[in-house]
Amino acid sequence: SAVISQKPSRDICQRGTSLTIQCQVDSQVTMMFWYRQQPGQSLTLIATANQGSEATYESGFVIDKFPISRPNLTFSTLTVSNMSPEDSSIYLCSVEGWRGLNTEAFFGQGTRLTVV
Amino acid sequence: GENVEQHPSTLSVQEGDSAVIKCTYSDSASNYFPWYKQELGKRPQLIIDIRSNVGEKKDQRIAVTLNKTAKHFSLHITETQPEDSAVYFCARGGGGNKLTFGTGTQLKVEL
């Protein structure tokens, strides 16, 4: 399995500021995924972070708003820039890891962001 | 598109009854179908998954069925217990565990 440490676990931020969320994995992984879960909603993929190349963003998400770093195979950051109340969500990172003979997605504990 | 439709959005059952949640997808390249349980304030936890080469999988009180021809899959929980109350998400993956999630089902198991 993969153990992911995500921080901060929660934060309350002023609009117009930026917050950087960190994810540390206990093993090397090729891809890391960043999801957003708006209040009462499902998870939506923001982007896929690959080491050594730019992140791949899903439709509706742009690099200027959600810059991502992936400096090595165990770490990634997601920044939520120029925040507005609409950015209030839970942000989760995820990696693919092994459980027995199969792979599955493992999630960090999430960052609950409130923008005021 | 690549969306996953999930029904019902809310489900209330009596303790001991069965609960069934259904999902449909459109992307034929999908080959991995996990189900997650998310309790309030916690991260999603995988409860069962199925891959495209299998039609059914069971783990104690939980089972998942997959119909690739019709592009739908279902979660079945038998003998429901109050601790089964949570939000359940289906998802589909096409490789690399990049997942597209369903819209979620709020399951409430009543005493």
* Chain Cα centroid distance, residue B8: 11
Q: Which of B99, B104, B100, B97 is nearest to B40 (CA)?
A: B104
For A35-67, what is each residue's pLDDT tens digit? 999 999 999 999 999 888 889 999 999 999 999
Per the DSSP assignment, residues forming a β-bridge with B34 are B49
DSSP string, A38-53: -TT--EEEEEEEETTS
Range with lowest mean pLDDT among A84-98, B52-66, B95-109: B95-109
Q: Which residues of A fall within a CB distance of 8 Å from B46?
A: 104-105
Mean pLDDT (chain A) is: 94
pLDDT mean over B27-50: 93
Q: Is the pLDDT confidence value at B2 over 80?
A: no
Range with lowest mean pLDDT among A37-41, A83-87, A95-99: A95-99
Q: Which residues of A fall within a CB distance of 8 Å from B44?
A: 43, 92, 107
Give pLDDT, residue B6. Answer: 98
Mean pLDDT (chain B) is: 93
CA-to-CA separations, A88 to A36, A37, A112, B63, B78, in angstroms, rounded: 10, 9, 8, 35, 36
Q: What one-letter code names the amino acid at B25?
A: Y
Q: What one-letter code names the amino acid at A35?
A: Y
Give pLDDT, residue A15. Answer: 97
**Cβ–Cβ below 8 Å for B99 and A31:** no
Q: Which of B64, B97, B99 to mutate to test the interface with A (most CBs of A within 10 A)?
A: B97
Give pLDDT, residue A100. Answer: 83
Lookup: tokens for B103: 């819209």
**Cβ–Cβ below 8 Å for A104 and B98:** no
**Cβ–Cβ below 8 Å for A42 and B102:** yes
**Cβ–Cβ below 8 Å for B98 and A33:** yes
Q: Is the pLDDT confidence value at B96 over 80?
A: no
Q: Is the pLDDT confidence value at B1 over 70?
A: no
Q: Is the pLDDT confidence value at B97 over 70?
A: no
Q: Which A-chain residues 49-108 have CB contacts (< 8 A) with chain B?
A: 92, 94-96, 102-105, 107-108
Q: Which B-chain residues 6-35 have CB contacts (< 8 A) with chain A?
A: 34
Pairwise CA distance, residues A70 & A53, whole Å: 8
For B43, name the nearest residue in chain A, comparing CA atoms only. A109
| Gyration radius of chain A's alpha carbons | 14
